Structure 1
Amino acid sequence: MIDTIIFDFGDIFINLDKQAPVIKFKKLGLNEWNSELDELNIQFETGKISREEFLAGFQKQIPDASEKAILKAWNSVLLDFPLYRLEFLQLLSKKYRLFLLSNTDSIHIATFEKKVGASFYSDFYQCFEKVYFSFEMGMRKPNPEIYSQLIKIHELSPKRTLFVDDRADNTDAAKALGIHVWNLKVGTEDVIDLFDKNFI
């Protein structure tokens, strides 16, 4: 019997366009996305570097691009957050312990909050017992420690916990710890299909 659900954020609640930043950065003069930028992203998502250091890392590779243009390209990944998903979550929060666990950075979260407004994001965050962002935790999925930390802090039972994420590497890591998982297929499944999946 599931009594706890841990949700990812991107492409579970807020829609993403993961190709948009790649296209935008190319227009700003970036030849191709590379391992150095991957590492820069990981460092920023785990709070190891500041916003300024992150932006400087991009400017090093595209020196002709302004900070404003870099920020616009970086934030182009964020699309809409449909109201029906929030309403679904609010109903769910009356019956289950809910947690948010997202690999994200301070720029994206600030942009999301500004985009939807205080009333909306407050209603969203209030659905959860606790909201966890990788840049505040100092680690990111699929590091097994990130799941173990939630289990330990909140005294969760893995066999009574469901984890919902759109990335297989993240759900595989949680599954290895005995947590029930739903690797949601973006484009063909929606988080509101949860009850149709017989998880809960």
Structure 2
Amino acid sequence: MLYIFDMGNVLIDIDFKRVLGVWSNLSGAPLAHLIERFTLGEVFQKHERGEISDQQFAEQLCHEMGIALSFEQFSAGWQSIFIGVRPEAIAIMKTLREQGHRVVVLSNTNRLHLEHWPVHYPEIEQNADALYLSQDLGMRKPDPAIFKYVLEKEGFTPQEAVFFDDVAENVNAASALGIQAILVTDSQTLPRHFSGDQIT
């Protein structure tokens, strides 16, 4: 079987409010103001597809939020999104690989984060057979093409794949292709799914 894991809030806990808190402190803008203006819109999606540079992303997002930050300040806030890895998820990945399954990560991410999480959370890459990252592929979930790409590269049919993600839109897109897709709602979703004899 092919097991496909999203990263944020599946393998590692993240929280965008931490990002906005740092930016609020550095810019002097009220946190409520940033929460109101911050969106995961077109600029965010372009960055995750690798279509704009990190500097362009920072400039455009700061413009949208009406704040002035240096690139270094922006980056410091952006990296504060990460809370910590979920050890129970890493243990499941390790077990699946030991049992001969193929385990990969499929994540909507960006170059700025790529400079951070592999260094601070190396166990993700260590327990995956491959990493499929949106900014490298020029496409992002829930685009069906990204799921088809992973299946083709890995040599599995949709029926031979299981996908875990914390975004319902992504889960629905994978499910529409025939992939068994599970919505991750908390840190216990994976342990519950693989409880008992389900890891086979």
- Tell me which interval the TM-score lies in, with the shorter structure as reference length: 0.7 to 0.9
Native 8 Å contact 2:132 2:150 kept in 1: no
Structure 2 residue runs without a partner (length 5+) = none
Native 8 Å contact 2:6 2:107 kept in 1: yes
Native 8 Å contact 1:142 1:169 kept in 2: yes
Identity of aligned residues (%): 25
Distance of aligned partners of 1:64 and 1:195 in 2 relative to their CA distance in 1, 3 Å threshold: closer
Q: Quick check: 1:47 aligned with 2:50?
A: yes
Find the counterpart in structure 2 of residue 22 from structure 1.
20
Find the counterpart in structure 2 of residue 196 from structure 1.
195
- TM-score when scaled to structure 2? 0.84
Native 8 Å contact 1:59 1:67 kept in 2: no
Distance of aligned partners of 1:34 and 1:162 in 2 relative to their CA distance in 1, 3 Å threshold: same
Alignment size in residue pairs: 191
Opposite residue 154 of structure 1, the aligned amino acid is E
Q: Quick check: 1:115 aligned with 2:120?
A: yes
Displacement, 1:34? 4.6
CA distance in 2, matches of 1:44, 1:146: 16
Report the secondary structure of 1:24's partner residue: helix
Native 8 Å contact 1:13 1:191 kept in 2: no
Native 8 Å contact 2:18 2:81 kept in 1: yes
Structure 1 residue runs without a partner (length 5+) = none
Native 8 Å contact 1:58 1:70 kept in 2: no
Native 8 Å contact 2:10 2:86 kept in 1: no
- TM-score when scaled to structure 1? 0.84
Q: Quick check: 1:170 aligned with 2:170?
A: yes
Displacement, 1:103? 0.5
**Equivalent runs, 1:2-13 vs 2, <5 Å:** 3-13=1-11
Report the secondary structure of 2:192's partner residue: helix
